[in-house]
Structure 1
Amino acid sequence: MTSIHDPALFLAHACALEEEAANRFSDLAEAMKTYGNQEVASFFGKMAEFSRLHLAEARKRSGFRDIPALAPEEFQWPDGESPEAASMEGSHYLMTVDYALDLALDSERRGQAFYAEVARTTGDPEVRMMAEEFAQEEAEHVAELERWVARFPKKG
């Protein structure tokens, strides 16, 4: 990943990442409803709402800026895809609560690491400030998910 030194480019990445997170959490909420776990479905629904709030915040911060509409190959993701684009291929009728939580936790950790890396490598003070703030929000998501993982220990 190359460093992001432009606030508009950073916000384009933040909007894409938060939209991916909201979609992923909504998908996990629906999967948990299907599998009969209303408690975890409700939790993932709450996480989706938090991601939508972060998305709205990122859009609001763009204010007067024109946020570039980036083609997939123009994003500067660490592994070539959004850190929070968790693979849903493991989502099936046998998905367990602990597996769904692990999927969510892994992608939240990747999102937090992405923002922390941007904050560490950018030369732009505004980008650094926003990236640090977004990294802190993602760290709160990670901590919340870790509490839920502890409530649903792995079986077998």
Structure 2
Amino acid sequence: MNQSASKQASQSSQSIDSLEELCAHAVELEHESAGRFHQLADSMEVHHNAEVAGLFRELAQLSEAHAAAIEARAHGLALPRIPPWEFKWNCPDGPESHCLDEEVNYLMTATQALRVALFNEEQARAFYQGIADHTGDVRVRDLAAEMAAEEREHVRLLNEWLERQPPDLEPADDLDPPNVPE
């Protein structure tokens, strides 16, 4: 990730100073991620791109499992209800659901889908690291650092998946492109 994106992630997250607020952000981040991956999978299925649809479903399940783990960890905490416009990340959606719309299309390959997921995991890692770097609360710092480490592990896993992909092929030509006015 470039230095500017890392700086933005750090600046947007610096005011999270309670475990409750951190957990509320983390749960929402994972639910947003799962929701976006399900949407992408549905879209790929409609366009008969079964391989990429399956990959997006698998990524959605991983996000759902991570959300469940965070919810279990937050059991007993009174998580605040945060309006969508008050979440402290630097993009309209959560860091793991930023989609790089120009990168996503119905003809995309598994390699391209994994690159989108990798970008999102790197954004999430930067988000949590920014919290750990700027909070004054030791418990928040420790949990945020642990979450950043988990995201680093997700990045490592996705890089392994990418290494197992065949050489990146260009997507098939779109024989019936959308009619978009210029």
Structure 1 residues 152 and 125, CA gap change in structure 2 (3 angstroms): farther
Indicate yes or no: 2:134 matched with 1:121: yes
TM-score normalised to structure 2 length: 0.73
CA distance, structure 2, for counterparts of residue 92 and residue 81 of structure 1 = 19
CA-to-aligned-CA distance 1:22-78 (integer Å, 9 cap, x gap)? 2233344445553132xx554443332222122112222222222111112211103
Q: Residue 118 of structure 2 aligns with which residue? A: 105
Instruction: Name the % identity.
Output: 38
AA aligned to 1:96 is T
Structure 1's unaligned 5+ residue stretches are none
Shift in Å, 1:149:
2.0
Structure 1 residues 30 and 149, CA gap change in structure 2 (3 angstroms): farther
What is the aligned counterpart of 1:95 among 108, 115, 119?
108
What is the aligned counterpart of 1:63 among 67, 72, 75?
75
AA aligned to 2:35 is N
Larger CA deviation: 91-100 vs 107-116: 91-100
- 2:99 touches 2:120 (CA, 8 Å); kept in 1? no
What is the aligned counterpart of 2:84 among 56, 62, 72?
72
Indicate yes or no: 2:60 matched with 1:51: no
- 1:25 touches 1:44 (CA, 8 Å); kept in 2? yes
TM-score normalised to structure 1 length: 0.84
CA distance, structure 1, for counterparts of residue 57 and residue 34 of structure 2 = 9
Residues matched between the structures, number: 154
Root-mean-square deviation over aligned CA pairs? 2.2
Shift in Å, 1:92:
3.2
SS of alignment partner, residue 65 of structure 1: coil
- 1:22 touches 1:52 (CA, 8 Å); kept in 2? yes
Shift in Å, 1:100:
1.2
What is the aligned counterpart of 2:35 among 15, 23, 27?
23
Structure 2's unaligned 5+ residue stretches are 1-11, 171-182
